[in-house]
């Protein structure tokens, strides 16, 4: 129940929906129940079985209790029979029934519309909470989680949750109310018949509860399997070129198909249990009604004064309706298992605390005047230590290159600067201010980032360069593209700056994609540049164009670069050599070559690799 009420909190302000829903549902129950209750008088009128007729005067009105609705109806029915005959009374009964049906269905519609508004409102808030939290998680979280699992939680499981929460809330209020109303009318019609009838209901409930007992564990399996399928799909689409290059198509197809078959089997098993509940409950209801007919017929044949033939037929119709809310409650409790399992998974994502949050006293900065200092910085992914006691100064206006064997911690160190991840120990200062005391937004505004993989979006070239900014002019975008050596090839595309580049920039070459990324960084005009293997994946011709663009980009800026090619790093002001998370050498290219250490060895081998 804790999970359910936690999920229900996303429906706030719940009173905005609950109050009108309760009001409309109450009126719906009153009118829908009264329609069935009026069947008895209708049938009695048709078959001339009444407490009154031309020879029987109507009961005087002052003898009827104010709250005796049935008594008042009989009084007016008898009055109609006396004044207008049986056909006139029949018109009266039919008019009342039609009026009750119209009003009942009107209030039913209003209650359903209110609940649908609540459902959409809840879905909006849950999905927003999940996505907002995911966007604020640090990069380390995504290294340990499958993207497909995250997508599954945001897309499908949130949908399951909100249907469960609002649907169950609707059933839990409306169906018990209908049950109570039906029981009141049934008891008022025949106490004996109702007591006998209710003996069978607990048996039916026990049978149905045993059918749905295993649904919770199956729901967990189904959601995990679905998340795996989404992950496989994402990996297949993202790595389609590699899959084809390594002739791994059959392997990928089989992996997806196996999971698809597993998911289908779980779905079938769940469906069998869910769908069994309806026929079982229907069969039980028919059996119960048969017993009622037998017992009611016995009472009628023995002239039981409690029942008239019309009331007996109305009783059967009313009792058959009693099973509908009972079945709806059973279905709700079977479905809530699936919803709560999904809810727990969604709440895990909402409650994930690996966020980069601003300190209460954090300030916004707009200038960069001195430099960057890393003091005794250490970092670890879970138990694996990546950086150990790093001390480094990046002076303003200087270019600092990070080199070293793969896995040495270069990319991790770079990710620490814009607070994509947080150090476990030590501090990082920008202009003598701890970056934890600077708002993440303003800190990242000081930095431009170009990675080995060009992160582009399925949009126009213009929008990719202007990404994240508003009010950008065509002239500003073109100026940035010229600095990035991108303007000429952009103008050669079909629609120039309005050309759509496809998913992840698939319509462009690797060098073109990288120059678009550089143009985006240029447009941001940051004082600090972070370049992570920006040319490593390019051919020689593209590398020269991109390197020229990077040189333009780094002019008059503080730059931190990761590279493996000598041409990229030999002109750096400071070269920092990392090995196993430690700084083992530091100096200019000439100084390090003379030192004859790890740097000299790497230069000789020309095997600088990114993390």
pTM over 0.85: no
Q: What is the pLDDT of residues 159-177, one digit of tens each?
A: 777 667 677 777 777 778 8
Q: What is the mean pLDDT of residues 235-246?
A: 70
Q: What integer pLDDT is reported at residue 52 of this predicted model?
A: 46
- The more confident residue out of 167 and 330 is 167
Residue 476 CB neighbour total at 10 angstroms: 16
| Nearest by Cα to 42 from 92, 80, 76 | 92
Q: What gap in Å lies between CA 329 and CA 177, rounded to an integer?
A: 11
User: What DSSP character marks residue 391?
Assistant: E
- Cα separations (Å) of 418 from 142, 423, 524? 17, 12, 15
Largest CA distance in the chain: 128
More reliable by pLDDT, 448 or 201: 448
Query: What's the pLDDT score for residue 388?
Result: 92
Pairing state of beta strands 384-395 and 528-532?
unpaired
Pairing state between β 558-562 and 528-532:
parallel
Q: How many residues does the chain have?
A: 611
Distances in Å between the Cα of 216 and the Cα atoms of 199, 207, 266, 279, 342 are 29, 17, 12, 21, 10
What is the distance between the terminal CA atoms of the chain, rounded to a whole angstrom?
46
Q: Which residue has the higher pLDDT, 419 or 40?
A: 419
Domains of the chain and CATH, by start: 2-351 (1.20.1560.10), 454-525 (3.40.50.300)
The candidate with the shortest Cα–Cα distance to 165, out of 12, 17, 5, is 5
578: nearest Cα among 597, 551, 594, 605 = 597
Beta bridge partners of 375: 427
Q: Quick one: what percent of the chain has pLDDT higher than 90?
A: 12
Sign of the torsion angle spanned by Cα atoms 40, 46, 48, 51: positive
What region, left, alpha or beta, does residue 41 occupy, with left being phi > 0 and alpha being psi -120 to 50 degrees? Answer: alpha
- 260-279, pLDDT tens digit by residue? 898 888 888 877 776 776 67
Gyration radius of the chain over CA positions: 37
- pLDDT for 54: 43
DSSP class per residue in 329-356: HHHHHHHHHHHHHHHHHHHHHHH---B-
The pLDDT-based confidence of 56 (bands split at 50, 70, 90) is: very low
> Which residues are 579's β-sheet partners?
582
Enumerate the β-bridge partners of residue 554. Answer: none
Mean pLDDT of 457-466: 89
Mean pLDDT of the chain: 78
In tens, the pLDDT along 118-146 reads 888 888 888 888 888 888 777 777 766 77
253 membership: H or E segment, kind and range: helix 249-301
Sign of CA dihedral 279, 281, 287, 293: negative
- Cα angle: 87, vertex 312, 202; to 5 degrees: 145
Tell me the two tokens of residue 515. Answer: 């120059």
Between residues 226 and 415, which one has the greater pLDDT? 415
Q: pLDDT by residue (tens digit) across 349-382?
A: 777 777 677 888 889 988 888 899 999 999 987 7
pLDDT at 608 over 60: no
> Could you give the 3-state DSSP secondary structure of residue 365?
coil
- Spatial neighbors of 485 by CB under 8 A, at least 6 apart, are 515, 545, 546, 548, 549, 552
Contact, 451 vs 517, CB < 8 A?
Answer: yes
- Nearest to residue 77, comparing CAs of 33, 46, 36? 46
Burial class from Cβ neighbours inside 10 Å (0-12, 13-18, 19+) for residue 129 reads middle
Give the highest mean pLDDT range of 318-332, 460-474, 533-547. 460-474
Separation of alpha carbons 461 and 493, rounded Å: 10
Residues 560-600 pLDDT 10s: 988 766 667 888 899 999 998 999 999 998 899 888 888 88
Res 106 pLDDT > 90 = yes
Model confidence at 610: pLDDT above 50: no
pLDDT of 320 > 50? The answer is yes
CB under 8 Å to 241, separation ≥6 — which residues?
Answer: none
Neighbours of 369 (CB within 10 A): 10
Q: Which of 100-109, 225-234, 377-386, 422-431 has the lowest mean pLDDT?
A: 225-234
Q: Please give the C-alpha separations between residue 391 and each of 422, 557, 579, in angstroms, as whole numbers.
A: 16, 22, 14
> Among 349, 342, 340, which Cα is nearest to 1's?
340
User: Residue 42's pLDDT is what?
Assistant: 62
Angle, CA 402 vertex, CA 579 and CA 608 arms, to 5°: 70
- Indicate whether 539 pLDDT > 60: yes
pLDDT in the model for residue 1 = 67
Give the pLDDT mean for 518-532.
86
């Amino acid at each position: 129940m804790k999970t359910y009420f936690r999920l229900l909190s996303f429906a706030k302000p719940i009173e905005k929906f609950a109050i009108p829903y309760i009001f409309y549902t109450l009126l719906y129950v009153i009118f829908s129940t009264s329609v069935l209750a009026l069947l008895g008088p209708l049938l009695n009128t048709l078959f001339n079985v009444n407490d009154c007729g031309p020879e029987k005067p109507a009961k005087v009105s002052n003898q009827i209790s104010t709250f005796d609705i049935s008594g008042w109806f009989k009084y007016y029915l008898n009055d109609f029979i006396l004044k207008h005959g049986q056909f006139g009374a029949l018109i009266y009964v039919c008019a009342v029934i039609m009026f009750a049906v119209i009003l009942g269905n009107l209030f039913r519609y209003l209650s359903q519309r209110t609940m649908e508004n609540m459902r959409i409102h809840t879905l909006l808030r849950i999905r927003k909470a999940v996505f907002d939290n995911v966007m604020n998680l640090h990069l380390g979280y995504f290294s340990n989680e499958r993207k497909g699992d995250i997508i599954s939680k945001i897309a499908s499981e949130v949908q399951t949750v909100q249907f469960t929460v609002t649907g169950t809330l609707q059933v839990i209020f409306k169906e018990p109310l209908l049950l109570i109303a039906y029981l009141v009318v049934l008891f008022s019609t025949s106490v004996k018949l109702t007591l006998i009838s209710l003996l069978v209901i607990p048996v039916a409930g026990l049978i149905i509860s045993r059918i749905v007992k295993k649904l919770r564990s199956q729901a967990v399996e189904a959601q995990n399997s679905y998340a795996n399928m989404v992950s496989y799909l994402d990996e297949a689409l993202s790595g389609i070129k590699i899959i084809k290059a390594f002739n791994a198509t059959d392997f990928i197809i089989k992996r997806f198909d196996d999971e698809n078959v597993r998911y289908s089997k779980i779905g079938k098993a769940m469906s069998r249990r869910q769908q069994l509940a309806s026929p079982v409950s229907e069969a039980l209801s028919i059996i119960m009604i048969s017993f009622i007919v037998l017992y009611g017929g016995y009472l009628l044949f023995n002239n039981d004064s409690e029942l008239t033939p019309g009331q007996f037929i109305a009783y059967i119709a009313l009792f058959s309706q009693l099973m509908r809310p009972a079945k709806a409650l059973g279905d709700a409790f079977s479905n809530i298992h699936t919803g709560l399992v999904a809810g727990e998974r969604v709440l895990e994502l909402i409650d994930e605390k690996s966020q980069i949050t601003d300190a209460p006293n954090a300030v916004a900065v707009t200038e960069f005047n001195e430099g960057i200092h890393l003091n005794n910085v250490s970092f670890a992914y879970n138990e694996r230590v990546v950086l150990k006691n790093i001390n480094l100064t990046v002076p303003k206006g200087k270019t600092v290159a990070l080199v070293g064997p793969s896995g040495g911690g270069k990319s991790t160190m770079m990710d620490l600067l814009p607070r994509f991840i947080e150090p476990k120990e030590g501090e990082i200062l920008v202009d003598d201010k701890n970056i934890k005391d600077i708002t993440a937004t303003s800190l990242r505004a000081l930095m431009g980032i170009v990675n080995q993989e060009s992160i582009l979006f399925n949009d126009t070239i213009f929008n990719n360069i202007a990404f994240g900014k508003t009010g950008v002019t065509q002239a500003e975008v073109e100026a940035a593209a010229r600095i990035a050596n991108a303007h000429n090839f952009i103008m050669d595309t079909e629609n120039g700056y309005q050309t759509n580049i496809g998913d992840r920039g698939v319509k462009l070459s690797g060098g073109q994609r990288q120059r678009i990324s550089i143009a985006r960084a240029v447009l941001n005009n940051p004082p600090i540049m972070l370049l992570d293997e920006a040319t490593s994946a390019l051919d020689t011709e593209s590398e020269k164009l991109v390197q020229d663009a990077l040189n333009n980009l780094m002019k008059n800026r503080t730059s931190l670069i990761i590279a493996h090619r000598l041409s990229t790093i030999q002109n750096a002001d400071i070269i920092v050599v990392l090995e196993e998370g430690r700084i083992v050498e530091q100096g200019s290219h000439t100084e390090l070559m003379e030192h004859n250490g790890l740097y000299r060895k790497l230069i000789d081998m020309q095997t600088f690799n990114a993390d």
